[in-house]
Chains A and B, each alone.
Chain A
Amino acid sequence: MKRVIAIALALLLFISFGVFAGGAKESAGKVTAYTTLDEELARKVFKAFTDETGIQVDWVRLSTGECVARMEAEKENPQASIWYGGVGLGHIEAKNKGLTIPYDSPAAAMPENFRDTDRYWSGIYAGPLCFESNTQALEKFGLTAPTSWEELADPKYRNHVQMANPGSSGTSYNVLATMVQIYGEERAFDYMKRLDHNITQYTRSGSAPGKNAAIGEITVAIGYAHDGVKLVNEGYPLEITFPSEGTGYEVASISLIKGGPADELEAAKKLYDWALSETAAKIYTTAFVVPFVDVPLPKGAMPISKVNTIDQDDEWAAENKTRLVEKWNAVIGGEARTEAKK
């Protein structure tokens, strides 16, 4: 019997520990956020915001596709009030699906083409797509860093390339949409099919291929330049190149979620405004992204104005997403793969 009492007491202790630890945080309000910012950047950003305003942020990191899907699944009972970061066309998709609400932030100062005309979403930073190649691996296999989309599909890179799954990753859908905008639909899918022979794995998250290239799990990755530059600055042997045919870019954006917890709305708006501020912009640059606020850039940061970008139509890309991803699934996923290719 004593033992039973001992167990009961131990349990009670644990439970109260949990409850108190959970309940002690209430202070200057709180906001629940979904974020697609890089995990580390997200941590810095939300910490700075909480330090400055006292508003607690509960956040979870999800990829662009996961964010939209979750907002849609939770449509009748949204759990979060704000979606912070993530590829712009995901935000357009969310707007088209009626998952977000407009907010004309007084802090918005970005060029008009990087924010929604109806004020549903605002761009926070932009970054171009690039190739990230592991220099040691290149040397080992006698390869050079690819400089065009065409070269990337060359058989010499067979099993050396990684990109994310366009279904789950906004980065990767950005690639697919870019190819369609460069080549036209038919040739683009023909290209994706050829490229598929070189791909070892389609990852779930858009930044994973770059990280795999950094540590040598793969030779060449397709990803955003700022993610690559950041890895270079951490000392990884990566070479960043841009395709000569032109490349796509992301406008990482922010939106308020429709019907989020009512008591969070004011705090969410504060976070929204803060996200467009100079303070926030300075934090973004530590991740080598180029914000729309004019702040000093670290060495290596790559503004889209310095790269050969295509004339990108995000509205079109967002509207055609389901169709193009479906088609990609049928064309690429439909091939028999009983064994990872050698």
Chain B
Amino acid sequence: MNIARKPRRINSSFHQLTREPALMIGVIIITGLLILFILYPMFAAAKMSLTPNGQFSGSVYRYVLTHSQYLNAIRNSVFLGAIVATLATFIGFLFAFSLTRVRIGGKRFFQGMALLPIISPPFMFALSVILLFGRNGLITSKLLGMDMANIYGLKGLVIVQTVSMFPIAYMTLSGILQGIDPDLETCAMNLGAKRGKAFLTVTLPLALPGIFASWLLVFVSSLTDFGNPIIIGGNFNVLSVQAYLEFTGMGNLPRGTALAMLLLVPTVGVFFIQKYIMKNKSYVTVTGKSSRRSTSQSSAALRIILTLLCAVISGFILLFYATIIGGSFIKLWGINWSFTLNHFIYSWDVGFTTMKNTLFLAIISTPITALFGMAIAFIVVRKDFPGKHIMEFVSMLSYAIPGTAVGIGYILAFNKAPFELSGTAFILITCYVFRNVPIGVEGGIAALKQISNEIEESSINLGATSAATFRKITLPLIRPAIFSGATFAFVRSMTAISAIIFLVSARWNHMTVLILAQTEIMRLGAASVMSFALIIVIMVFIFIIMKVTGLGREQIFGTTK
């Protein structure tokens, strides 16, 4: 029966393609671009790691998997990821629970604190942790009088990754928690359960898939993080840094590539699991219940405890930011505490062109990413054609590919004819666009699925052309999703490092790479100024977007993960 039905479906979807030539062209172009810029670089990387001497051989992987320095790196990465995922999920849950289920004070403030790390350069926290807890750290050396504080390594990494990644858990979990009807808890309590028991037997089990999903997401983020470990990893060797050193430092291209490909295994695995878990959870909030109060009764004691915990964590985050701002004005941290503006002069001198280029590339790629993502989402949701699910899958796949593998794949794929792109602005722009396009696709699909076909159909029935329908009906409804996607694309372009460190050139450098170089030569003052400047630029951009579009913080940061 199934077999008999299938060809007819394909026939009818082919039919739609042949009836709408514009759609066909769109599908062909999008498919071509996805293959060229997502699949082909991965193929080039796989080929490099499997043909070290021109012939197919698994020798590189065999070498990596039998030598303890690489096995250590793998073990370290997994170990770190597990710790960070657990801590970050816990803190993310704490924030999400406090902000959605319990009426604690200062809600907007805490929400802001939970979003702030997202718009910060990737290793900003590593920098301030060195300033605070390093051997010359403000806290370790000056306050505690410790001589040999060693923050480099696992300890430092756990701190910085937890702080910078708990927002991922927060965003995932607040969506889930909002979707759980508070009446369920009320019922449980009416039936005699205590608040704690209702939480443990009703709320927690319902939130469990979300908790698991957010754990996985943070785990993968930690695994693929490059900026923090290269600065504060010390001798705690992790896979992403090892791949980079092997590839660019030692010039062992096959082995560096193989290490990056090893990162791909857990990330793609998690991507599948996460998709499966979240499959039926993504659109809960659009059932019309979202406007409903999701808080339920809670005791004053609980409120105070949760407020305090959130306040402590927010205090930490603010301390990190204050340190960066302070570090910008201190002559020589730890040695000479006098006030100076020299770091600003130096940073202007050294970083102005790079900042301009970074901003330029981000601004070019942002609308392209948002529109391209929306185009894919539109086709996937509204049209029917063979291979549609594959298109959706491939466009989302680049979410799961670690930056290190993307960077290596791009440099291998686009460095020779017919694609001589290395060293150009174009390669950086395409890298941003295809790395960030899943955000646009996901947001677009979610937004379009909210809009019933019938609304559009009635518009057409009333005599509007389909172009007018799109402009007057569809566009206004998906507008928040487009701008939300654009904002995220912009932020991620401005704070990218793991992929683009392979692609920057003398002509097109990136702020994050420059900041990394300043940190490495211990110009921490200049690194602070540049990080600070980057955050300001991002904030100004988001502010402009919000003012111009009239969208609020929740709409910008709420619709996508």
Contacts and interface: CB of A to CB of B under 8 A. Distances in A.
Most buried by A among B67, B249, B359: B249
A325 B250 contact: yes
Contact of B548 (A7, A39, A66, A330): A7
A140 B147 contact: yes
Contacts of A168: 245, 248-250
A76 interface: yes
B356 A167 contact: no
Contacts of A63: 249
B148 A159 contact: yes
A107 interface: no
Interface stretch (B13-21, B232-240, B319-327, B451-459): B232-240
Given A159-B148, A217-B135, A15 B364 contact: yes
A6 to B, nearest CB: 6
A79 B505 CA distance: 8
A10 B509 CA distance: 24
A299 interface: no
Contacts of B248: 65-66, 69-70, 73, 168
Contacts of A17: 360
B558 interface: no
Interface string B251-287: 1010000000000000000000000000000000000
Interface in B423-463: 423
Interface string B499-542: 00000111101000000010011100000000000000000000
A335 B75 CA distance: 13
Nearest to A43: B350
Given A69-B251, A72-B253, A80-B506, A204 B360 contact: no
Contact of B234 (A11, A58, A201): A201
Nearest to A33: B506
Nearest to A205: B520
Contact of B135 (A10, A18, A218): A218
A338 B236 contact: yes
Contacts of A207: 521
Interface string B40-83: 00000000000000000000000000011100100110010000
A68 B79 CA distance: 33
Contacts of A184: none
Contacts of A6: 548
Nearest to A2: B548
B334 A338 contact: no
B235 A15 contact: no
A65 B247 CA distance: 10
Interface stretch (B120-128, B150-158, B188-196, B398-406): B150-158
A68 B152 contact: no
A28 to B, nearest CB: 17
A18 B423 CA distance: 17
A15 B360 contact: yes
Contacts of B68: 330, 334-336
B411 interface: yes
A140 B136 CA distance: 13
A340 B234 contact: yes
B251 A72 contact: yes
A200 B152 contact: yes
A228 B13 CA distance: 71
B297 interface: no
A77 B420 contact: yes
A217 B76 contact: no
Contact of B236 (A58, A70, A76, A339): A339
Interface string A129-163: 00000000000110000000000000000010000
27 contacts: A10-B548, A15-B364, A18-B356, A18-B364, A32-B505, A58-B507, A69-B253, A73-B251, A74-B423, A79-B422, A140-B147, A167-B246, A168-B249, A199-B235, A200-B150, A204-B249, A204-B520, A205-B520, A215-B335, A325-B250, A329-B69, A336-B68, A337-B236, A337-B237, A339-B236, A340-B150, A341-B235
Interface of A: 3, 6-7, 10-11, 14-15, 17-18, 21-22, 32-34, 39, 43, 58-61, 63, 65-66, 68-70, 72-74, 76-77, 79-80, 140-141, 159, 165, 167-169, 199-205, 207-208, 211-212, 214-218, 325, 329-330, 333-342
Interface of B: 67-69, 72, 75-76, 79, 134-136, 147-148, 150, 152-155, 230, 234-237, 245-251, 253, 332-335, 350, 356-357, 359-360, 363-364, 367, 411-412, 415-417, 420, 422-423, 504-507, 509, 517, 520-522, 544, 548-550
9 pairs of A and B residues whose beta carbons are closest in the complex:
A168-B249, A340-B153, A18-B360, A333-B69, A69-B251, A79-B423, A58-B506, A211-B522, A167-B250
